[in-house]
Structures are given as C-alpha cells and as structure tokens.
Structure 1
Amino acid sequence: MNVKDQYERPIISLRLSLTNRCNLNCLYCHHDGMILTEDEMTSDEIYQILKIAKKIGIQKIRLSGGEPLLRRDIVEIVEKTASLNFKDISITTNGIGLKKYAKPLKDAGLNRLNISFDSLNPNTYEKITSKNLLHEAKEGILQAQKVGLFPVKINMVVMKDINEKEIMDMFEFSKENNLVLQLIELIKSDSCENDDFSIEHHYSLDNLEKDLENMADEVKTRKFMQDRKKFFIDGGEIEIVHPIDNTKFCQNCTRLRLTPEGKIKPCLLKNDNLVDIITPIREEKSEEELENIFLKGIYNRKPYFTD
C-alpha cells in the first residue's frame, strides 16, 4: 500500500520533530514552524504513529528537532523505529551529542545522519549558534564517521558576511573525513520570526554552482529532489540545496511532517492545516480511527507554490 495525496504525490517519507528543545540558538533557525511545548510525545506514542506510517506505505523516517539527541529515550525511539523495517532511518542533529550517542544509535538501527554544522571557525561558530561548542560538535561528527554511520552529511547554511568565505574550508574538512557537504541557501519562511535576517544575509549559490560545475570531475542530478546537483571534486562531494520557494519543490514533495506535540503537519510552510493525532491516541481510539486521522493529514496536503 502506498498512499498518494489529492495531487497524486506519493507519501514516501515522514519527518518527526521529537522535541523543540535545543542546546544551540542559531541565528537562522525558524523552528520548523513548531509551537513551544513541554508536552512531547512518548516513545510508545511515536511507535503507534510509526506503525500507521508503515502500514500506509511510508518508507523513510527522519528524526529531527529542535535537537533530537536531547531526548533521553532517543536510542529507544530509534530501536522501535528500526523494528518496523523502514527502508531508511536518519537523524538530523547538531552533532554535539554524537560523541556519546553515535555508536548506540548505530547499534539501535540508525542508517545515516545529517549534521547541521555551519563553520569550522570558533568565532564564527559562536556567532551563529550563541554557544562555544565547536569542539564538541566536531568531535561528535568524527565519532559518527568512526563508528561507520554512512553517509554522514554536513548541512552548512551559507550566510553573506558570516560564513560564505568558509565554504572551501568546510569542503576540505568534509573530503578529508569522508563526509558529504550540503550547502544550503538561506531561505525565508512564514514561520520565521526574523525575516530581516534572511534578507540581509541571503547569499545566492547560483554563481558558486557554476564554478563547481567547471571544477567537478562528475556531476549528478537528483531528479526526485528538485533537480539538486551533486558535484564530485577530487574525491569529495558537494550538493547544492536551493530555496524551496518554487513550484518544482512542491511538485516533487513526498514528505509529511509530525510536530513534537503530535500534530500532523502536511506542509513545511503552513501552520493552519495541522491535524491532531496525539489526542485520539491518548483517548485510545481504534487503529482504524487513527489511520483515518493520519490519512486526513495526507489529504490536507496542497502545493504551497503553484504556477
């Protein structure tokens, strides 16, 4: 069974925000549209939701936050997720907790990692994150690679007048440690509280993409990821992630989201069509009722950007 929304887009992946807590305070963070809450889903509640996701044909699970490694039960959550035999289980993290958790997470069934890491320069890192934790993040990244989590992807948000001159340093670091570098163009979001920041520090990656194309030994295009280009240069790999405010992104979107307080979020850029699934779970509704609620979240999906 593989469910499609009303626009014939298959739902392949589910991104679960496990918490809105974080040990960093990044300049560009828009909290993925999350509402501050202390009422996080339990691991058993998450497992119930994942069982429905598996039943309707979702293949990939991404665990995110906030910072998901702040959950004391993160290893248990990964174990329960892995028990359902999804095709892929990944975590997006800032890397600070990986020195402790990399091996337990791998042993629990985690397939791969995306690590938000915007600078190798201590001053720049502290400016971006408001914390002096560069050493801890770097140690965590190297530990993840050491225990064999692969691929480990570095997500670097590129910001004008902040870290745009550090791209090649990050590429050399990634190449030396067998990491994949994803360069992410700063975007605006309806849920962002500080749009002025994104306007002031937006840095177009268009010219860099042309330069990389000339430098690359090989270029691949990811057709089902908004035609993202991957550049293979001297044994290293760089992927460019452009803003998502376009029809191509919406046309190819196959992802559903879940907020920390247990609401299905059909669209990253909208907060007015969420579907509450945690309350029915706590009211012990039947599996059939819960599945219908989950499907309602899917049928609420509509492209944010249209021609």
Structure 2
Amino acid sequence: MSILSHCSFACVYCAPKNKPDLTNFYPKIHYLSPELLESKIKTLTSHIQLKEVHLTGGEPTLHKDLVLLIQKLKEIAINEIAITSNGFFEDGLIQKMKQAGLTRMNFSLDSFSQGGFEKLSDRKLPIERLLQRILEAKTFGLDVKVNCTVLKGYNELEILDLLQWSGENGIPIRFLEFMKMGPLQEEHSDCFYSAEEIRSTIQKKYNFQAYPTAPDSTATYHITDEGFIFGIIANHTEPFCEGCNRLRMDSLGRIYGCLSDQTSFDLPSDPSAVPFVLQQAMDTKKMQFTGSELSMKFIGG
C-alpha cells in the first residue's frame, strides 16, 4: 500500500529532479486516509486471505496518521504489517509503530559512503543517522532487512562494504536490479547492473551457497561462510513473475495487479462485484517484467 504520493528524497532511480514526475497522473501530494485504508482492507479481507500488508510511499513515515494506519490494520487482524522507509524520521517513531502492531521494517540503504548516499538521494543528510535507525529497529525486536538498488556508475563498488556491514550486524541485505520504471526508462541500460554481476562481485571476497527461500519470495537468498545472508531481486534477468501473489494499492485506494501495467482498478461498493474486479487486476499480471512509465514513488517499492 502506497500511503502517500510524496517522498523527502529525490533518488536518481525513482524521482530525479530533472525528469517529469507524472504529476498529471497523480495529485502532487495525496495521503491515504485511515478511513479509506480501513474500508479497502475490509473489502479485500472479505474476499481473499491477506498474509501481509506492506506500507510504502513515497516515504510512508511522512504520513501524519501512520501509527493510526498501523493500528487499523492490526484491528482488522492483519498479522504481518511491514513498512519500507529511507530512515529519516522523528525520534520515537519506531517504538510507536512497534506498539501499534508493526512487525517488520525494510530500509533503503543504497550506499555506505556519505558521498555515494548524497549522489543517489540528492540530499545532504548524514548517512550515519540512517545506519543508527536500522540498528534501532533491530533493538526493538522488529524483523529488519535492508534494500540496495544497484546502479552501475553509482554504487556497484560498494556492494562488498554494504554486505559486510549488514552481515556483521545480523541483518539480511537484498540487492535489487535497477527496475525499468518511471523517469529513467531511456537511461536504464546505462545504469543496469545484473544479478550475475552482483554475484560475481560478491564472489571476489566471499564464498556463499543457497539459503532457504520462500516460494513466493521476490528475492533469491544466499549465505556466506561467515553467516552473512543476502538476497538478489532480479526482475529483469531472473524474473519471478510466474509466482507473484501480490496486489498493490496506491494512495487513492486504487488496485494494481502488476508493476508492468499502470492500469488501476477501484474496488466497488457492491460486494458481489469485488471478485470480478480482483480478477481483472490479476489478469494484468505479466509472465515477465517489462517495466512501466509509472514511478515507484507513486505505486510503492
């Protein structure tokens, strides 16, 4: 669920400042209200079994009612509630989210160096603050993962440093192939760093083997001899579309079945019509990821 169409960063792979932002397709900033979230989730749970709701954005911690949204999900009996964040938010929020029912946090950690972080995020903020937030979430007992989108010419030389830091702190890291979505469609091939290249880079320092991976996981996991766990999400070169069991919802409450299709569906008020709409959304799923003009800023990553 993308709970707002706004982010405090302008990452080069999502919302570079010199590229159009689909503002005609979305309101400039739109927040998913607690009432709309509750209505849509109750509609969905009356027809399908939801294993998990994952809150994204934009940057979800900018939502003023974030804790209430988590509480609403908990009251509806959603057992697994996750959130993805850039880590720059107010003190005390992690504890509040945990108390409200949050079970997992994913953090975007695309660089281990100050210069690399600023280049990728277009923000002059201390990388140390993000690292501290990740460790803080772990101390509160949340299931924590970090995500790194790898771009050639930006951060491929930091893969080993990122793996070492996350591994030494007992936190799984997932390396993502740069997805052909949103404003960098034309430049995609210039920045693309494949799953095979990621594995080859890691092999320069670490021996690793396959690690148990859930059948519906978007990542393929491995573990090094040192016990460092890492996953690779390879939408382009090793697609996993055939096993996809996800639905997405944007901040307007619209349903999407596939990241490669920007067709959206509104859940009807008539309960008898909901299964048909859900089937329509599922029918948009592709057998292979092809990308979309729709930015992850609006549909959630």
Give the TM-score of the pair, scaled to structure 1. Answer: 0.81
In structure 2, the residue matched to 1:11 is: none
1:255 match: secondary structure: coil
Residue range with higher mean Cα deviation, 69-78 or 295-304? 295-304
Does residue 21 of structure 1 match 2:2? no
Measured after TM superposition, the shift of residue 210 of structure 1 is: 5.4
Q: Which runs of 5+ in 1 are unaligned?
A: 1-15
- Check the 8 A contact 1:19/1:71 in 2, yes or no: yes
2:187 match: secondary structure: helix
Does residue 72 of structure 1 match 2:64? yes
In structure 1, the residue matched to 2:172 is: 180
In structure 1, the residue matched to 2:133 is: 140
Measured after TM superposition, the shift of residue 244 of structure 1 is: 4.7
Which residue type is aligned with residue 8 of structure 2?
Answer: N
Residue range with higher mean Cα deviation, 214-223 or 104-113? 214-223
After superposition, the CA RMSD in angstroms is: 2.7
- Check the 8 A contact 1:257/1:264 in 2, yes or no: yes
Q: Which runs of 5+ in 2 are unaligned?
A: 289-301
In structure 1, the residue matched to 2:298 is: none
Cα distance in 2 for partners of 1:61, 1:291 equals 23
In structure 2, the residue matched to 1:201 is: 191
- Check the 8 A contact 2:211/2:222 in 1, yes or no: yes
Measured after TM superposition, the shift of residue 184 of structure 1 is: 0.6
Measured after TM superposition, the shift of residue 290 of structure 1 is: 4.8
Relative to structure 1, is the Cα distance of residues 210 and 36 closer, same or farther in structure 2, using a 3 angstrom cutoff? same
- Check the 8 A contact 2:3/2:60 in 1, yes or no: yes
Which residue type is aligned with residue 106 of structure 2?
Answer: N
Residue range with higher mean Cα deviation, 88-97 or 16-25? 88-97
In structure 1, the residue matched to 2:296 is: none
- Check the 8 A contact 2:174/2:219 in 1, yes or no: no
In structure 2, the residue matched to 1:46 is: 37
Cα distance in 1 for partners of 2:275, 2:63 equals 24
Cα distance in 2 for partners of 1:33, 1:252 equals 30
Does residue 252 of structure 1 match 2:243? yes
Measured after TM superposition, the shift of residue 54 of structure 1 is: 2.1
- Check the 8 A contact 1:183/1:239 in 2, yes or no: yes
Cα displacement string for residues 220-254 of structure 1 (whole angstroms, at most 9, x for unaligned residues): 344333672332441221111112577x5221110
Which residue type is aligned with residue 24 of structure 1?
Answer: F
- Check the 8 A contact 2:241/2:286 in 1, yes or no: yes
Cα distance in 2 for partners of 1:265, 1:114 equals 22
- State the number of aligned residues: 278
In structure 2, the residue matched to 1:298 is: 279
- Check the 8 A contact 1:219/1:232 in 2, yes or no: no
**Which one of 275, 283, 290 corresponds to residue 265 of structure 2?**
275
Instruction: Summarize the alignment of residues 76-95 of structure 1 with structure 2, pairs less than 5 Å apart.
Output: 76-95=68-87
2:55 match: secondary structure: strand
In structure 2, the residue matched to 1:10 is: none
- Check the 8 A contact 1:256/1:298 in 2, yes or no: no
1:175 match: secondary structure: helix
Which residue type is aligned with residue 149 of structure 1?
Answer: L
Cα distance in 1 for partners of 2:53, 2:142 equals 16
Which residue type is aligned with residue 198 of structure 1?
Answer: H
Which residue type is aligned with residue 221 of structure 2?
Answer: K
Relative to structure 1, is the Cα distance of residues 136 and 42 closer, same or farther in structure 2, using a 3 angstrom cutoff? same
In structure 2, the residue matched to 1:159 is: 151
Measured after TM superposition, the shift of residue 138 of structure 1 is: 2.1
Percent identical pairs in the alignment equals 26
Relative to structure 1, is the Cα distance of residues 132 and 101 closer, same or farther in structure 2, using a 3 angstrom cutoff? same
Cα displacement string for residues 173-203 of structure 1 (whole angstroms, at most 9, x for unaligned residues): 11222211101111213xx122233211111
Which residue type is aligned with residue 253 of structure 1?
Answer: C
Cα distance in 2 for partners of 1:234, 1:257 equals 36
Cα distance in 1 for partners of 2:75, 2:237 equals 36
In structure 2, the residue matched to 1:5 is: none
Cα distance in 1 for partners of 2:167, 2:272 equals 44
Does residue 224 of structure 1 match 2:216? yes
Cα distance in 1 for partners of 2:64, 2:8 equals 14
In structure 1, the residue matched to 2:299 is: none
Cα distance in 2 for partners of 1:227, 1:68 equals 22
**Which one of 49, 59, 62 corresponds to residue 57 of structure 1?**
49
Does residue 111 of structure 1 match 2:103? yes
